[in-house]
Amino acid sequence: MNSMTELILQLKNVSKKYVGLTALHPSDLDLYSGEILVILGSNGAGKSTLLKLMCGAESSDSGEVIFLGAQQKHWSVATSRSLGVEVVHQELAVVGELNPIENLYLGRELVVHKRWWPFLARRVMRKEGSDLLRSLGAQLSSLKGKTVELSGGQRQAVAIARAVGWGEKLIILDEPTAALGIAETAEVEQMIRTLRGRGLAVVLVTHRLDQAKNLADRVAVVRQGRIVGNFLKADIEVGKLAILITGEESASVV
């Protein structure tokens, strides 16, 4: 961390209960600009729940959310978006039937008025959308065809580019490389580093310890609804992480 680092988001004592189950016990977490925070944990540990509290997709049962020093009484997706927070959810994040440019501008289409009639500014969206994809190093075979016809990595690139296009402060990525091959994963990892280089705060959920080691400036481990570890890069030991994730001393390193 350097002196320019800014505290973007603070979660204080946030928690989430679903019927009959505590997905997240009261937890604290701080997110900084120019930092990649990797969140690790087993299936069902509470990682996505934590992310949903960060972006307001779920409301916390307790505690507070503080964004750039201001306490957020009504933290919702609309509020977080308006403040520069974007999320790529674990579930399908693009609409397959639309082309990549239409996906980038989904729900935020640019409109021009000609003789008072509104028209979609297709040419502007095409130009700015393809510039955005290029600036992130995304190589798509086509901008005109349906997004469903792209490879998994290219689809993921579109989903991330959409978040990047609008997110100015914080980008949250829930397992963005889970379905990708080696080359596609490397491309997405490069996009993530580009975001850090631009001074954004990035949160990334992954199951891959090697990815955590490669990308993270900080790692948080979630186990059974609790944050059981929070380390800076220098203190990351892969063996120790594996034990924290599973809670077992005999955990093997994958």
Smallest Cα–Cα separation from 64: which of 26, 95, 8? Answer: 26
Specify whether the CB–CB gap between 95 and 115 falls below 8 A: no
Pairing of strands 64-67, 218-223: unpaired
Specify whether the CB–CB gap between 70 and 83 falls below 8 A: no
Regarding 48 and contact with ligand ATP (CB under 6 A), the answer is yes
Regarding 90 and contact with ligand ATP (CB under 6 A), the answer is yes
Least distance CB 46 / Mg ion (angstroms): 9
Please, which residue, 49 or 99, has the CB nearer to Mg ion? 49
- Edge-to-edge strand list for the sheet holding 70-71: 21-32, 7-18, 64-67, 70-71
The H-assigned helical ranges of 68-221 are 77-82, 100-104, 122-135, 152-166, 182-197, 209-215
Number of residues that bind ligand ATP (CB under 6 A): 12
Place of tokens 């990525």: 173
Please, which residue, 138 or 203, has the CB nearer to Mg ion? 203
The single-letter code of the amino acid at 46 is: G
Please, which residue, 226 or 233, has the CB nearer to Mg ion? 226
Taking residues 8 to 47 in sequence order and writing x for each that binds ligand ATP by CB under 6 A, - otherwise, the string is ----------x--x-x-----------------x-xxxxx
Taking residues 155 to 194 in sequence order and writing x for each that binds ligand ATP by CB under 6 A, - otherwise, the string is ----------------------------------------
Taking residues 49 to 88 in sequence order and writing x for each that binds ligand ATP by CB under 6 A, - otherwise, the string is x---------------------------------------
Please, which residue, 87 or 104, has the CB nearer to ligand ATP? 87
In DSSP terms, which residues pair with 171 in a beta bridge?
A: 86, 202
List residues near ligand ATP by CB under 6 A.
18, 21, 23, 41, 43-49, 90
